Chains A and B, each alone.
Chain A
Amino acid sequence: MSELNHLTLTEALEGLEKKDFTSVELTQAHIDACEAAKSLNAFVTTTYELAIEQAGASDKRRAEGKAGPLDGLPLAIKDLFCTKGVQTTASSRILEGFVPQYESTVTSNLFRDGAIMLGKTGMDEFAMGSSNTTSGYGNILSPWRSRSAPEKDLVPGGSSGGSAAIVAARAALGSTGTDTGGSIRQPAAFCGIAGIKPTYGRCSRWGVVAFASSLDQAGVFARTTRDCARLLKSAAGYDPKDSTSANLPVPDFESALKGDVRGLRIGIPKEYRVDGMPKEIENIWQQGIEWMKDAGAEIVDVSLPHTKYALPAYYIIAPAEASSNLARYDGVRYGKRIEGGNLKDLYELTRAAGFGDEVKRRIMIGTYVLSAGYYDAYYVKAQKVRNLIRQDFLNAYGQCDALLTPTAPSAAFAIGENEDDPIKMYLNDVFTVSVNLAGLPGMSVPAGLNADGLPLGLQVIGKHWDEETVFRVGDVIEQAANFKALPQSVLKKAA
């Protein structure tokens, strides 16, 4: 029984269907694993009692033959999704103690299909970061350690670091994340698991604490592409409460996993060979290209000429939207409130105490780029760049069906690294932000380990609404990579 938390989501579902174990047993095994992984600080809030209760109800449904597609499967939920009756903080002190009276559409969809919630995972505050060192509730650690410096705590990536770490630690079968500039794909790569950000508009943003509305998109983590396909099928769907949600049917993503990419044209964007790219990243990318060739895909060199402008454009648009989205945290109606002598004091004291440095930095950048006299030079220009980037992709898709790139420019780094210069930290998103600017689906799958024993991911980018091809390619990489490595903390426990 102690091995239940090592099953994939698909295997766990089979076990439940075959009555090898109950959801209560499965859930308890994961609660135990969560407790064992407590040092990772992956959760802001755990909901074990609720999970056991939900598991009991699930077992009852299954006994009555009424089980849903995810029935009885314990998941972790990023603390950016509002959950009815359960504290939701966005890892910010400003929302400490905030208990929503409503359930986000994505979590509603998962619960409708029988999923169980283990708790709310931490992130970079308001999803702003690539390291999980900006949370208001302490750093989140990766379950992985490097061979050369095993004493150093590593970052799980960000912003959805808690969700990635807890799945990598075999303490949840899957989890939800959100991805504004790489916040699912980069932590998936750092933690050696799969994670997909679907097309913008595929998952409802209703009930998800907003960071940058035109870029935010919910997605999922799991240990296999098949597991991700199942989770995304449940999470996605049209929602009339979100005006940017697409009224399109959700395909059966799992049926796209044909184990075969013959005839597919895979584009390799030349601009992604950035200066100073570490050899290990270049090697894993080349490895991915070889796997694709071996599996019968055609490799096509493509150009995304405006790639170098993506990061600057992103770091204008995302903070601009954030500066406005975060204005509602003012201490007047909910969340933290520091009383002052007058209204201005109330605002200033509350926001000074409630927001961390990175959030403040982005609010200031965003306020600046929207200001009179700077708006055209920054915000308007960034929007033009965004259109060009989108057009780059559309042009490339004239020649190929999907793109293959590295997910991140490095493996996980140690906590404290890249902290001296925010630009260095922002560079972590160099391969991922374009996908958000263009609204495309993107997925990271674990492709191998570097020399230091740390996971590296490959990113598959698809056409709008074509997550099926993304899954199909991701699945073939997964099979070729045959990634079986376990994080050291999990290994130690198993030993």
Chain B
Amino acid sequence: MAELIKGETGDWEIVIGMEVHAQVVANSKLFSGASTEFGAAPNSQVSLVDAAMPGMLPVLNEYCVEQAVRTGLGLNAEIMHHSVFERKNYFYPDLPQGYQISQYQHPIVGKGVIEIDLPDGTIKEIGITRLHLEQDAGKSLHDQHPRKSFVDLNRSGCALMEIVSEPDIRGPEEATAYLSKLRMILRYLGTCNGNMEEGSMRADVNVSVRRPGEPLGTRCEIKNVNSVKAVQMAIDYEARRQVEIIEDGGKIDQETRLWDPAKGVTRSMRSKEEAHDYRYFPDPDLLPLDIKSEWIEEIRETLPELPDEKKKRFMADYGLSLYDATVLIAERARADFFETVATGRDAKLAANWVINELLGILNKDGKTLAESPVSAAQLGGLLDLILDDTISGKIAKDVFAEMYASGKDAADIVEEKGLKQVTDTGAIEKIVDEVIAENPDNVAAYKGGKDKLFGFFVGQVMKKTQGKANPAAVNALLKTKLG
């Protein structure tokens, strides 16, 4: 159910379309051989083409095209067999050519659709309008000198995919769900690392408001929204701003606005009248991009299992709950980790251990799965000890804590510390007898109907065996002996 804004005069619906710029994972730039590594010294990854030296010409990087096609397939979108690179002309010092090579009338990817998961467990489809390839600009640094601006061209010419959604998103929750899902898909595909803080994924958000059921209102485009949280905050602010204006009898001007994360407001950047005339025209230095069906099919063959399919499979094959499956597929590495642990073992037990124990403590320590001291094979080893009754679930938690601290294998810890479960009924029977002998009052009370005291006897036996007694054997013996 869409979130509505309660205004003075009634409810308002927020309508959102997103333009996400995703930097393509590739070793070199879209039209030059320069490296794309993040964080290199300023202007150290700039080819003659990136610096727009006279007479330099762009040559299309085939791998970037492959990545765009792969992304299009992952977005269930139509791959266009014919697309055209055009020049978007404007002057800025971090745009050395004086134009950005982009795709305009003929993008490489057409209409597609992705499913987003809403907090109430429902699924909603969000339409993808298009995906096109374009060059990134360089970076202007305005804070290095009192009067001058500096330009770093390392990013100039890096490949971006601009992914445009339909105005299908209603409210900040759906917007963040969309962004998260899109990022998840891109990461699964390996086509964008999705790091918003490094700028490798950036979002422009188009926001308008309307009365439910009425035609679309006038939209404002919000730029500089650089985290999932910022998306939520910017939409919240902007929608309320628009509602206030309309309710006060005003009109929304179509304009580009900037999100100011420090003040938590959007402010006007340029009006429709001030909008650039980009004078797009086909780049005569590049031929139209024609892609053969066979190549698209070859790329399709290399697609990994995507999050939605994986979630369905986890639920069907492993019997996991929607919640567990959703947590486990959030990252491809996490899902792979789970599957390694679950293979040949009790999958629900594996899911419990991965989610509640491992992810729990990693999250607490601020670590990623890649930094986990316990490998999937090691966690599987621990589960094996539980499943073959070598240790109890309770002991296993202690063993796990030790594994996490030391990186040792579970079997070694159990061996070293003598934590092996006592399954010898003779030995357990002896201790049961001791406990019964030492607590005549409680025995009498139990026999008198105080059933709850059963737990007390189990506890006493466990205490005497340092928790190593097999719980099932203890239960059975106590039941017999206490009648």
A: which residues have CB within 8 A of B?
A: 81-82, 88, 90, 95, 98, 100-102, 104, 205-210, 212-214, 240-244, 320-321, 323-324, 326-328, 330, 332-334, 343, 347, 367, 370-372, 375, 379
Contacts and interface: CB of A to CB of B under 8 A. Distances in A.
A216 to B, nearest CB: 9
Counting from the closest, the 6 A-B pairs by CB-CB distance are A327-B98, A214-B284, A370-B279, A213-B284, A328-B52, A207-B55
Given A327-B97, A327-B98, A332-B151, A375 B281 contact: yes
Contact of A102 (B53, B93, B98, B281): B53
B57 A370 contact: no
A88 to B, nearest CB: 7
Contact of B89 (A95, A213, A330, A370): A370
- Chain B, interface residues (CB within 8 Å), range: 20 to 34
Contact of B98 (A95, A241, A242, A324): A324
A212 B283 CA distance: 11
Interface string B77-103: 000000000010101010011110000
A372 B277 contact: yes
Contacts of B281: 320-321, 324, 370, 375, 379
B286 interface: yes
Given A330-B98, A332-B96, A205 B89 contact: no
Given A347-B91, A375-B281, A206 B57 contact: yes
Contacts of A82: 53-55
Contact of B87 (A242, A324, A343): A324
Contacts of B48: 101-102
B58 interface: yes
6 contacts: A101-B53, A243-B287, A327-B97, A328-B54, A333-B52, A371-B277
Interface in B36-81: 48, 51-60
Contacts of A379: 281
B285 interface: yes
A205 B99 contact: no
B54 A241 contact: no
A313 to B, nearest CB: 14
Contacts of A205: 55, 57
A371 B278 CA distance: 8
B42 to A, nearest CB: 14
A104 to B, nearest CB: 6
A241 B57 contact: yes
B279 A324 contact: yes
Interface in B277-320: 277, 279-281, 284-287
A365 to B, nearest CB: 13
Contacts of A327: 89, 91, 97-99
B57 A90 contact: no
A201 B98 CA distance: 25
Contacts of B60: 243
Nearest to B285: A213
A207 to B, nearest CB: 4
B55 A367 contact: no
A244 B98 contact: no
B285 A244 contact: yes
B97 A328 contact: yes
Contacts of A244: 284-287
B57 A371 contact: no
A243 B52 contact: no
A372 B88 CA distance: 12
B24 to A, nearest CB: 19
Contacts of B56: 206-207
